[in-house]
Amino acid sequence: MASSRKKPSSKKITAPETSSVTIDLQSALQEQFGFDQFKGQQEQIIQSVLSGRDTFVIMPTGGGKSLCYQLPAIVSPGVAIIVSPLIALMKNQVDLVRSYSSKDDVAHFLNSTLTKKEIKVVHDDLQAGRTKMLYVAPETLTKQDNLDFFSNMQISFFAVDEAHCISEWGHDFRPEYRRLRDMMDQINPNVPVIALTATATPKVQSDIIKNLGLRDPKVFLSSFNRSNLYYEILPKIKKDDTLKSIVKFIVSNKGKSGIIYTLNRKTTEELASMLMANGVKAVAYHAGLDSKLRAERQDQFLNEDVQVIVATIAFGMGIDKPDIRFVIHYNIPKSIENYYQETGRAGRDGLEGRCILYYSHTDVSKLEHLMRDKPLSEREVGAQLINESVAYAESGVCRRKVLLSYFGEDFGDQNCGNCDNCRNPKEKVEAKAEVVKMLNTIVALDERFATEYTLQIVTGHLTPQIKMFRHDSIEVFGIGKDQPSHFWNSLIRQMLLENLLKKDIEEYGVLKITEKGHAFLQKPKSFQIVLNNLFEDANADDDEAGAEAASGAAADDKLFEMLKELRQKEAKRKSLPPFVIFLE
Ligand code: ADP
Ligand code: MG
């Protein structure tokens, strides 16, 4: 347990600050990494690690977290054990370190991909004291042989990279991370720990400190503002329009690297083929591909043999490609955290980075649908995270402000000038009367129906189901037929976000009125909404990703049919812009 841990003994870690030799960090930076100066708080962080204190670094993607443990690892006696969640990530890091140092044995990784022979090389280098950094997967530490081996070695410190994986409130929960404290204690409880993450939500932070058992850690928190990133949300109305818009964008950004994130594997393949057919070098990447192919495609992207990688969230963590010029989200991400991380991969060199999210209500339902088989607690967490994502997408407020406030940072009310909402402010309308109408409708329906049915009632859309329930005779039937269905849909979403309503996902998304909603009915007040007809799905031929498990093949056929038809249609028009040469 964390509380039973002893203070680190300075003898074991031989921290330079406590010995008579002071290390010139500046020259180490120059000599080992070829950089002229430290970025942000790197120097202070490194000093904290070298002083033997537990250290917690919260720094956005691209901030330069790796150096915060790599440099101290090189200058400290013994080896630093670096926990990293992904095999691809480890390899990437080790390759980088080796390229700096010109000595291959300075860094190694130990994971399930190594052969017995390779493991022996690692062991030999470790025992000979040649290796300063050992990257391990959390699973590696759960193996008793490894634990025994490590407990006989001099460990300079433990670094836990991507430490948010320890929290289910993070965007990448990895249960094995929960066992790390135990494993580290078994190896040597006195070794200091540095935990690093780009996740800044207070909930995740406290989870990390608690679960990793950090003792009185020195915390370094950097700003999360990425001022060079341009954030934009575009409506995803018709699938073919969305595809065209993507192709057009990429073709007009010739030679610029980018990532497209999609919700499911099939779509990565489809979009990649579609881009290829349009002359864009693109590959798909997802967890369903074997690891060799994944590594190969990752390398192709890093080496610019391909321009675009179309991927599920399986791609990107820790990828060090500084000149990614755009990140497109083809589906709404399942949390703001995910969105921030994924968009954060653009413009890491500080230059232009465009982040475009195609948003539709249908995609939100798909995400909700995907959660239906998860245990209740996970579903509740998931629903809340999705709601925040939706709030972001539908918000008329500065995107940067919404993102930063999610991380507890106040951007103030200035115009950031680098997001769609700041460049084209959206109009707001008063919807007090409409909110009352909606609440009355839900009351009249005894809080027993989900959004779609409620919309039909409000707009007076007579369906067999409504006839069956004889709801066409209730007073609220058609109460809002002066407004289109998408207006009411948007209103419901904004009422959900303002906590006037809640959705019971246990019960198929039935709409319930919250305490705050009842209070509103008692005493209505101003309720301003942003008009979002922009985001309404005009037709349902959008890809059926959410129902992929059930109807993947059908959705496939539909896409190809659609592309074929589109191509024929376009061919009929005489002049073909370059982006409409669709699949054969
Ligand atoms: P993070 O893990 O925080 O996302 P990385 O450690 O991958 O970020 O570093 C991001 C980029 O910044 C890398 O290309 C790295 O080489 C570069 N970098 C790190 N520290 C410095 C520095 N002091 N000067 C210049 N570039 C740096
Ligand atoms: Mg990193």
Among 66, 161, 226, 324, which is best to mutate for testing ligand 1, by the most ligand atoms less than 8 A from CB? 66
User: pLDDT digits over 278-301, tens only?
Assistant: 999 999 999 999 999 999 999 999
Residue 95 CA, ligand 2 centroid: distance in Å: 14
Indicate if ligand 1 lies below 6 Å from the C-beta of 63.
yes
Give yes or no for a contact between 541 and 239, defined as CB atoms under 8 angstroms apart.
yes
The model's confidence at residue 506, banded by pLDDT at 50, 70 and 90, is low
Q: pLDDT, tens digit, for every residue of 217-233?
A: 999 998 889 999 999 99
Beta-bridge partner residues of 218: 55
Q: Cβ(33) to ligand 1 under 6 A? A: no
pLDDT of residue 172: 78
Answer whether 62 contacts ligand 1 (Cβ < 6 A).
yes
Task: Locate the ligand 1 atom nearest the alpha carbon of residue 36 and give its number.
Answer: 24
- Residue 223 Cα to ligand 1 middle (Å): 16
Q: Whose CA is nearest to atom 26 of ligand 1?
A: 35
59 lines ligand 1 (CB under 6 A): yes
Instruction: State phi, psi for 407 to the nearest 5 degrees.
Output: -95, 15
Whether the predicted pLDDT of 3 surpasses 50: no
What is the distance in A from the centroid of ligand 2 to the CA of 194?
Answer: 13
Ligand 1 proximity of 421 Cβ (cutoff 6 Å): no
What's the average model confidence in pLDDT over 406-425?
A: 85
| Sign, CA torsion 466/469/470/472 | negative
Note the pLDDT tens digit of each residue in 110-158.
988 889 999 999 999 999 999 999 999 999 988 888 999 999 999 999 9
**Tens-place pLDDT, residues 5-63:** 443 333 333 444 444 456 789 999 998 899 999 999 999 999 999 999 999 999 987 78
Mean pLDDT of the chain: 84
Evaluate: CB of 159 within 6 angstroms of ligand 1: no
Contact at 8 Å (CB) between 47 and 124? no
441's enclosing H/E stretch is helix 432-444
Nearest CA among 19, 66, 23 for reference residue 42 = 66
List Cα–Cα distances, 324 to 64, 253, 382, 457, 517, in angstroms.
Answer: 16, 12, 29, 47, 44
> Does residue 61 have its Cβ closer than 6 Å to ligand 1?
yes
Atom of ligand 1 nearest to the CA of 59: 3
Alpha carbon of 238 to ligand 2 centroid (Å): 37
pLDDT band at residue 208, thresholds of 50, 70 and 90?
Answer: very high
Put residue 354 in one of left, alpha, beta given phi > 0 → left and psi -120 to 50 → alpha: beta
